[in-house]
């Protein structure tokens, strides 16, 4: 069994596994990642294979700090501002890659840009320090499925494909990083995430642009179908049928509550809801319900990322 508590010795062994070209799963502030040495194309290929991820979908590279990020990418003024405000933390910056950076081309799917982030999680930071490598790590789920927020979720998704699954307990934020491209003229939001759009716009002093079609194509976290449970999701439910499971939010739960109800946040707190979302979807997916009815969740702040994941999870296309 590859789940190992993230004690110092286990982190050291995980770092060695990365150095040897193997893949390991580890906790971050957002979700669990499936990591590989970003400098080693064969190691990176193992990540794509384990996830059955299309090769055109580029990976995020995790680095310990801004100084190291600057070795791999050109960091312009808005980039510096955002990094200063949010790193370490759940912000991924898409930047122009340095031609000398040594990161495997497969990581950015052949693009001349690279997505970098500095995770705010003790285990992730210790792993980066011990491995002394940039770590390419997408979320540790099979492609198109719900991101894992516990070590057990990773094992359910990937079994013993990772050499190790470092168990650091549930991820504190529970939803992926916000991805912002600062390559073009105007900073663009490529994926909503754990840092609300409003917070980023406050730091930039300008509204975030929508992702252009070309960027969307290169950021398939934006693909319509993603984050999907096997049970259909029925969104904005104000009533619930007896054979449905219910994903509730707030205190105003519809009557006739079914066999299985989980409440993302009885007090209607969006941070609590984001942290619980993926685990709740997994649990309700086990209920053999005809559908998962999801109560409306307000759209501002973290609600944008929560609704984005729900919408794409609901898309059966
Ligand atoms: O919170 C997170 O970001 C987690 C943890 C493990 O760090 N990682 C994560 O990785 O969610 P992944 O691979 O599931 O999502 C990466 C997103 C995708 O939408 C991908 O298309 C986009 O980042 N991306 C990566 N490199 C890019 C690039 N060069 N240009 C545009 N989008 C890029
Ligand atoms: Mg993912």
pLDDT for residue 227: 77
239-270 pLDDT per residue, tens? 999 899 999 999 999 877 677 899 999 999 99
- Rounded to the nearest whole angstrom, what is the distance from the C-alpha of residue 243 to the centroid of ligand 2? 30
Tokens of 95: 């930047």
Contacts of 202 (CB under 8 A, 6+ apart): none
**Atom number of ligand 1 nearest to Cα 219:** 21
pLDDT for residue 171: 98
pLDDT for residue 116: 98
- Rounded to the nearest whole angstrom, what is the distance from the C-alpha of residue 15 to the centroid of ligand 2? 22
The structure's pTM equals: 0.95
Q: Kindly give the parts of the chain with pLDDT less than 50.
A: none
- Rounded to the nearest whole angstrom, what is the distance from the C-alpha of residue 253 to the centroid of ligand 1? 35
pLDDT for residue 259: 73
Best residue among 221, 226, 308 to mutate for probing ligand 1's pocket (most ligand atoms within 8 Å of CB) is 221
- Rounded to the nearest whole angstrom, what is the distance from the C-alpha of residue 86 to the centroid of ligand 2? 20
Residues within a 6 A CB radius of ligand 1: 28, 30-31, 33, 57-60, 90, 92, 94, 108, 111, 113-115, 117, 137-139, 176-177, 179, 190-191, 215, 218-221
- CA nearest ligand 1 atom 13, residue: 138
**Atom number of ligand 1 nearest to Cα 140:** 6
Closest-approaching ligand to the CA atom of 179: 1
pLDDT for residue 224: 60
Is-contact 33 26, C-beta < 8 A? yes
**Atom number of ligand 1 nearest to Cα 176:** 1
pLDDT for residue 211: 83
- Rounded to the nearest whole angstrom, what is the distance from the C-alpha of residue 271 to the centroid of ligand 1? 21
Closest-approaching ligand to the CA atom of 38: 1
- CA nearest ligand 1 atom 32, residue: 219
Is-contact 230 291, C-beta < 8 A? no
- CA nearest ligand 1 atom 17, residue: 221
**Atom number of ligand 1 nearest to Cα 179:** 23
């Amino acid at each position: 069994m590859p789940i190992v508590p993230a004690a110092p010795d286990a982190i050291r062994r995980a770092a060695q596994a990365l150095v040897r070209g193997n893949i390991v799963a580890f906790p971050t502030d957002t979700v669990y990642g499936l990591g590989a040495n970003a400098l080693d194309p064969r190691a990176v290929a193992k990540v794509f294979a384990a996830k059955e991820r299309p090769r055109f979908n580029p990976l995020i590279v995790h680095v310990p700090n801004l100084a190291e990020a600057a070795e791999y990418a050109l960091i312009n003024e808005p980039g510096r501002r955002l990094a200063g405000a949010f790193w370490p933390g759940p912000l991924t910056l898409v930047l122009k890659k340095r031609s000398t950076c040594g990161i495997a081309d497969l990581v950015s799917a052949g693009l001349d840009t690279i997505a970098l982030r500095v995770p705010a999680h003790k285990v992730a930071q210790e792993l980066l320090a011990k491995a002394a490598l940039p770590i390419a790590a997408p979320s540790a789920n099979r492609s198109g499925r719900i991101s894992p927020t516990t070590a057990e979720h990773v094992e359910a998704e990937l079994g013993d494909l990772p050499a190790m699954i470092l168990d650091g307990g549930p991820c504190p934020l529970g939803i992926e990083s916000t991805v912002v491209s600062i390559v073009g003229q105007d900073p663009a939001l490529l994926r909503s995430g754990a840092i609300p759009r409003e917070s980023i716009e406050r730091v930039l002093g300008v509204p975030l642009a929508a992702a252009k079609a070309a960027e969307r194509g290169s950021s398939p976290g934006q693909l319509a179908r993603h984050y999907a449970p096997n049970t259909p999701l029925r969104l904005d439910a104000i009533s619930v049928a007896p054979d449905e499971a219910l994903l509730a939010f707030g205190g105003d739960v519809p009557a006739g509550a079914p066999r299985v109800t989980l409440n993302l946040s009885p007090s209607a707190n969006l941070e609590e809801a984001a942290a619980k979302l993926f685990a709740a979807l997994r649990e309700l997916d086990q209920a053999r319900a005809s559908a998962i009815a999801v109560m409306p969740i307000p759209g501002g702040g973290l609600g944008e990322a929560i609704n984005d994941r729900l919408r794409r999870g609901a898309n059966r296309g």
